Amino acid sequence: TSAQDLHALLRSRGAAVGLTTVYRHLQVLVDRGEVDMIRRDDGETVYRRCATEAHHHHLVCRVCGRTVEIAGPEIEVWTAAVADAEGFVDVEHTVEIYGTCAGCATAPAVP
């Protein structure tokens, strides 16, 4: 969900809140680790709340934005090996795999 989408939803429900306030509160949630902030291919920043707090990765549909949380034990092994080979410690990573979900792939083309 984008900050603009959330702002529009809040306004439609009668909340007298400014867009700047929405951005500020979203940033607090990002800083606390309660939501993820990602930049879409079109450059727009969107926010999402994950179902799990455990470390995981995402498959993201570049058409509709649908996101699926995935475990990636192979990625963890690879990341640790690459970091170790290069002498890096205290390593963190984020993996977002972009593609087209089955629903969008089979949807009829819109003229």
Residue 50 marked ligand-binding: no
Query: What is the per-residue pLDDT across 35-92, written as a single tens digit (0 to 9) for each?
Result: 888 877 778 888 888 777 778 888 988 888 888 889 888 999 999 999 999 999 999 8
Q: Give the SS3 label for residue 13.
A: coil
Residue 64 marked ligand-binding: yes
Measure the CA–CA gap between 71 and 54, rounded to whole angstroms. 9
What CATH architecture does domain 53-111 belong to?
2-Layer Sandwich (3.30)
1-49: CATH, from 3.90.1150.10, 1.20.1260.10, 1.10.10.10, 3.40.190.10:
1.10.10.10
Measure the CA–CA gap between 33 and 35, rounded to whole angstroms. 6
Instruction: Give the model's pLDDT for residue 25.
Output: 94
Measure the CA–CA gap between 48 and 15, rounded to whole angstroms. 21
Residue 101 marked ligand-binding: yes
Q: Where are the beta strands (DSSP E) in the chain?
A: 36-39, 45-48, 57-61, 67-70, 96-99
Instruction: Give the model's pLDDT for residue 27.
Output: 93
Q: Give the SS3 label for residue 9.
A: helix
pTM for the whole structure = 0.64
Asked if 99 contacts 62 with a C-beta cutoff of 8 angstroms, the reply is yes
